[in-house]
Chain A
């Protein structure tokens, strides 16, 4: 081959490659509103969870995942596939989670994530509900003799980066005119280890997590969760912005679990409830109406959720509530009927 001919050929190839790449990147990363179809075609739901937070999403001794957030992933999979095991769990750090969702690596983010305005409006996400009402608090060693967060002026505080926790911490100390020294870690385990070693006077994160972490610190009674709640932390699942149908699926799976608790439908009795005369129950489990169609699912979607995962109360009790080592009271997470904040619009 003559060198000139080779050059011309090489340039043509390079040109074609450049044009090809440009053509490819001009395609949007994910077509609008197609997540449900993508998930159905893939046959598995990709769910972003935490790297390990007892009660919300943590791997168990059999290699499976457990927790309140994991149950939401399972419930969505149950509604789509009638099989709650068709979930691929993607453990994400606080820093990685939004990018993973934006880039399409995961379909659903169920990772104890706080719903805030900037995240909802400026980060390409849509929050679809609140599956746990939380608030940020402080944990300190009992031996310090601190009984209130107001006494923490001058304290070193261990905190994980990439969280609203970090911001609330700054706001709280600033608004109370107190000094503090943040020691910021990328991962929770190191932040906890540093606190446990005495590097920090206090550790701060959402109260639910504090209870979960306290159990892992050797002698849990040596540590006290201070009474102040310094922020509202509504934790909920998020999907990509502009995916109305997919957002509806996740939102109504969550509402179905709440409605089921309210109507007394549980994993144990959902089969017998098929014979119920209560029209609300009949609509919930798909005996009446065509509520699945508009979601792009079969009409028994909620029945599958309840059969495989259970209602909100069951999920709460097993993972974080009375039947779990965390032993967190329902509190704000009780149904509205019982003085809590959990309230679901009716299925009608």
Chain B
């Protein structure tokens, strides 16, 4: 095409360039500068690490990650994975991690539910609802989260009965200041058959749904799916369950909570610390989410809604098909921030005695091993990873919700 692309054709190839020429080539210089800065940065980080290692050795402080294999020797009040004090520090780390994940995941769900409700309530036509929602937001988001946790925690403790006056609830459950105690199911093998039936039902429903969408594209008519979906997801496992109960006996036996010398023993206990942390974090974050939701809905141009009603969509359809999809595009990016904040704020758990990662690992394990640098580095890496993972998931969601330009 052009002479630049064909040095061998007609024109002589340019002479080999000298180094001094390259200094005047902005592209070459740009690359060289970046390589130089990159190398300096790498060298700087290496020096920092080496300096830390040198000083640790000079001060006689132990280092390395070998401690993770040593016996932990302490108990943890709540664990989602099997744990005993004879297990390793690495195991204790995972107990703390799962406890943090539990709070973060449940907190995000609750905060979203409360936040969306309050945010929509702020736009209500009803004066009372609108004002209540507005005062909730203004009060809650102006209180430091730590104070909120203390208030909720000691508020919860004040109102729960002492172990000896435990409140007996239906189904063999108990409630007292040590937590809510519910029967713990011990799954029997027959349960796996039912579980398999549930999975198969969901899979079949999904396939059916895809088929229906294709039919809609092809013929313009969508076959009725939901009666089949209910049959597959609910009835199928129920029938399979009934049959397997008759054939193999009960799906699960229960470890019932029973009053002991100090407290209720057995069953699953839901700690007041967990409840207080969840309530505190959810209420706090929900106040911010409510504002984001309100802003998102208010940010949808009125013309869009008017156009929707001009097309003959009902109020519900307008909300579902026009307002919310448009509002979501405004809501999702700042919502991600709130999810990250909630996850990071969950580290306040240590203040009210909930055994999260910071309490178990950056607290007890650090105290026992004295290896602050390793423990704190691992803990920071965990929070960084959690935040990045949340970000990635939310960005994916955002991409799906963004305007598709065709």
Contact = CB atoms under 8 A, between A and B. Distances in A.
Contacts of A179: 75
Given A25-B47, A181-B77, 14 more contacts: A18-B41, A118-B370, A121-B60, A122-B61, A124-B61, A144-B262, A155-B263, A161-B363, A166-B74, A170-B73, A170-B85, A171-B73, A197-B157, A242-B59
Given A22-B47, A99-B372, A201-B262, A186 B351 contact: yes
Interface size class of A (residues with CB under 8 A): 35 or more
Interface size class of B (residues with CB under 8 A): 35 or more
A170 B74 contact: yes
A199 B272 contact: yes
B262 A184 contact: no
A18, A197, A241 — which one has the most chain B CB atoms within 10 A of its CB? A197
B124 interface: no
Interface string A169-198: 111011000011111111100110110011
Interface string B335-374: 0000000000000001111010001100110111010100
Contact of A182 (B37, B74, B351): B74
Nearest to A145: B261
A199 B177 contact: yes
A11 interface: yes
A123 interface: yes
B243 interface: no
A156 interface: yes
Nearest to A161: B363
Contacts of A1: none
B60 A197 contact: no
B62 interface: yes
A11 B33 contact: yes
Nearest to A153: B261
B133 to A, nearest CB: 32
Contacts of A25: 47-48, 51
Contact of A95 (B36, B158, B366): B366
Q: Which 8 A-B pairs have the closest CB atoms?
A: A124-B59, A170-B74, A161-B363, A197-B157, A122-B62, A186-B350, A183-B353, A123-B370
A198 B157 contact: yes
Contacts of B55: 28-29
Interface string B48-67: 10010001101111100000
A79 B150 CA distance: 44
A180 B75 contact: yes
Contacts of B367: 94-95, 161-163, 166-167
B350 A182 contact: no
Contacts of B352: 185, 190
A14 interface: yes
Contacts of A4: 26, 29
Nearest to B41: A18
Contact of B364 (A14, A98, A155, A184): A184
A111 interface: no
Contacts of A51: none
B357 to A, nearest CB: 13
Contact of B353 (A11, A28, A190, A198): A190
Nearest to B84: A174
Nearest to B51: A25
B376 to A, nearest CB: 10
B170 interface: no
Contact of B363 (A18, A95, A122, A199): A95
Contact of A156 (B33, B60, B178): B178
Contacts of B77: 156, 181-184
Given A183-B353, A185-B352, A194 B372 contact: no
B34 to A, nearest CB: 10
Given A183-B353, A199-B178, A156 B263 contact: yes
A186 B359 CA distance: 8
A41 interface: no
A194 B359 CA distance: 16
B162 interface: yes
B162 to A, nearest CB: 5
Given A156-B178, A185-B353, A194 B157 contact: yes
